[in-house]
Structure formats: C-alpha cells, structure tokens
Amino acid sequence: MSELLVKKIQELKRKRKAIILAHNYQLPEIQDIADYIGDSLGLSQKAAQADAEVIVFCGVHFMAETASILCPHKTVLMPDINAGCPMVGMVDLAELKSTRKEYPQSMVVCYVNTSAEVKAESDICCTSANAVKVVQSLNSEGEIIFVPDKYLGQYVEGQTGRKMVLWDGYCPVHVKILAEDILRKKKKHPEAEVIVHPECTPEVIKLANRVLSTSGMCQYARESRAKEIIVGTETGLIWRLQKENPDKKFYPASELAICPNMKLTNLEKVLWVLEDMKSEVKVPDRIRVKAMRAVNRMLSIGRREI
C-alpha cells in the first residue's frame, strides 16, 4: 500500500510542480519521500531557492509560516494544518508589546519557533544554530528580550555573557529529557559521546560533550570519530542520523522525547493535500513585510554589521 501511495505522491508532485520538505523530527516514511530534510529555517530557505510553485511543508505551523514569509509568491501547503508547536503559543503578543515598553531601550530577539506576528514585533530572529552569533552581533546597550525559550536563552547567556530578559517559555519535548536519562544511557554505553539540543535544561547541557542544533547534530555525526552517540533531542532525528551514518550507533537520550505534533503528518495526508490543494498557509503582507525584516536581519549576519 505504501508503495502505491508513494507512486501517487510522486505523480502529483510532478503535476503540481511541487517539492516536499520534511523536518528532521518527521516520521521515517515522510523523511524518505522528501526532496529536502532539515531544520525549520534551512527548509524555508530551500523553499525560497527551489524552482517549484508549490511547497508541501511537513513540519509544524510556524515553519510553514516562515516559508510563506520567505517565498510569498509560492503556495505553501501543510498536510496537517493542526500540527502546531506548544512553545509558539507561550508568547502572548500583547504581553510582548508591554514588555518592550517596560524596557524602552531593549531589542527583541525571537527564536524562529514563534508566530509570524511575534517575528513582526521583533528586531531580529535567530535559530538554535545561530542564536549565540546573533546575540554577539547586537551592539545595543539596552536589554535583550529573548523569546520564547528560556533554556535556549540561558544557554546563550552563558556563551555570550550578555544579560537577557528571558521569556518563560520552553519546549515540552526537550524538558522531558532528564539528567538521569543521560547518566543512565552513559552507564549503558560508556564509550558514547553525548550531544544535546540547546532547548534542553541546564542540568542536561552540563552532561553533554557538545550542544548542537539538529543541523549541527547531523554535521557532527558525519565528522565525529565517535562510533556511538547519545542524542538529546526529539527521537525522530535518530532515523536520519542512522541512515546517513550506517557505521555508527545512535541512542536517544530519552524514548519519551517525542513531539506528537511532528508525528501528525503521514503519507495519506501528503497525498490528500496534493490532491485538493487545501490547507494553505499564507502570511498577510501587513505582517509578512515586518516579519521579513527580522528574518533578513538574521540572515545578513556575516555580510554586514548589525
């Protein structure tokens, strides 16, 4: 049945002049049919660069929004429009505006895991891969308001020495990874290195050999001499790591680190969205233009001084 589904998807993809993008946390069957696999921003950049009219974004809603921000003239579809991110909902726009007034000299750095409206209210965007570099690039003497992930913010504080006003947000999946999980896996696999995502708690980060984004983890897995690696992030990444590095062993730090929203997309839903061309994600221009400034400012790091 799955072979027939895949065949139908490929036929419709050609007909619609579409590409399929899949986040690293998606189900194996989705990663296997994707034209590109990666982190949220990297996939959105692929969407903008690709010679395609339709983008099927297999991820969660804010990711499809980011793709819409970067390529407004393309049709961005989500196989499951209900796939959201709890962390995104932890930022109240009115509260953010109020916090800016409380710190009038502040700059708002928003994690890419935010809504388009929050990006539009921010000065600059960041990812888990470049958050340290983004904060280091800011010359402002005022406070830095960092939204929404307090654990990523704490990690950036520690790396940069910049004091920040941290939002009380977090990733429900990464906080499920406990220090005890790392110690237990280390005891079972004493030769294994430990890599964790910066959305993890400080207690977990202290036990890691490296703190990396998902794209950073993929690169590290390819380049590291380690034959065994304990991976502290959502378990979906293990599929890609093992597939790309068959000579190495990867162990999830916690089998409980599963994002239910990332698992909502399946082959049937990809087929259906290509058939009916519904579930489009479109950011209105009044929001998109402002949000684009924050995203472009992040992308400009390294090309000009901020």
Q: Does residue 103 belong to any structural domain of this protein? A: yes
Shared domain for 162 and 219, answered yes or no, is no
Q: Does residue 257 belong to any structural domain of this protein? A: no
- Compute the C-alpha angle 162/165/168, nearest 5°: 130
How does the average pLDDT of the chain come out, rounded?
A: 94
Shared domain for 78 and 109, answered yes or no, is no
Region 2-8 average pLDDT? 92
Q: Band of the pLDDT at 26, cuts 50, 70, 90?
A: very high
Residue 249 tokens, joined:
């062993």
Residue 41 confidence (pLDDT): 81
Shared domain for 75 and 99, answered yes or no, is no
Residue 205 confidence (pLDDT): 98
Shared domain for 163 and 183, answered yes or no, is no
Shared domain for 107 and 33, answered yes or no, is no
Chain-centroid distance of CA 224 in Å reads 23
Residue 299 confidence (pLDDT): 87
Residue 244 tokens, joined:
């790309």
Shared domain for 60 and 77, answered yes or no, is yes
Q: Band of the pLDDT at 100, cuts 50, 70, 90?
A: very high
Shared domain for 166 and 212, answered yes or no, is no
Q: Does residue 295 belong to any structural domain of this protein? A: no
Region 18-33 average pLDDT? 97
Can you give the residue range of the structural domain that contains 183? 174-252
Residue 302 confidence (pLDDT): 47
Region 181-201 average pLDDT? 98
- Compute the C-alpha angle 226/182/155, nearest 5°: 90
CA gap 168, 146 in Å, rounded: 10
Q: Band of the pLDDT at 40, cuts 50, 70, 90?
A: confident
Residue 303 confidence (pLDDT): 40
Shared domain for 60 and 123, answered yes or no, is no
- pLDDT(45) > 70: yes
- pLDDT(198) > 90: yes
Region 178-203 average pLDDT? 98
Q: Does residue 248 belong to any structural domain of this protein? A: yes
- pLDDT(105) > 70: yes
Shared domain for 53 and 93, answered yes or no, is no
Q: Which residues contact 198 (CB under 8 A, 6 or more apart)?
A: 128, 131, 151, 152, 155, 156, 205, 211, 212, 213
Shared domain for 200 and 272, answered yes or no, is no
Residue 1 confidence (pLDDT): 58
Q: Does residue 141 belong to any structural domain of this protein? A: yes
Shared domain for 37 and 64, answered yes or no, is yes
Instruction: Give 125-145 pLDDT, tens digit per residue.
Output: 999 999 999 999 998 778 999
Q: Please tell me the total count of domains within the chain.
A: 3
Percent of the chain with pLDDT over 90: 90
Instruction: Output the pTM of the full model.
Output: 0.93
136, 170, 204: which is the final residue of a domain? 170
CA gap 121, 260 in Å, rounded: 28
How many residues in the chain?
306
Q: Band of the pLDDT at 22, cuts 50, 70, 90?
A: very high
Instruction: Give 79-91 pLDDT, tens digit per residue.
Output: 999 999 999 999 9
Q: Band of the pLDDT at 306, cuts 50, 70, 90?
A: very low
The CATH number of whichever domain residue 145 belongs to comes to 3.40.50.10800
Shared domain for 156 and 209, answered yes or no, is no
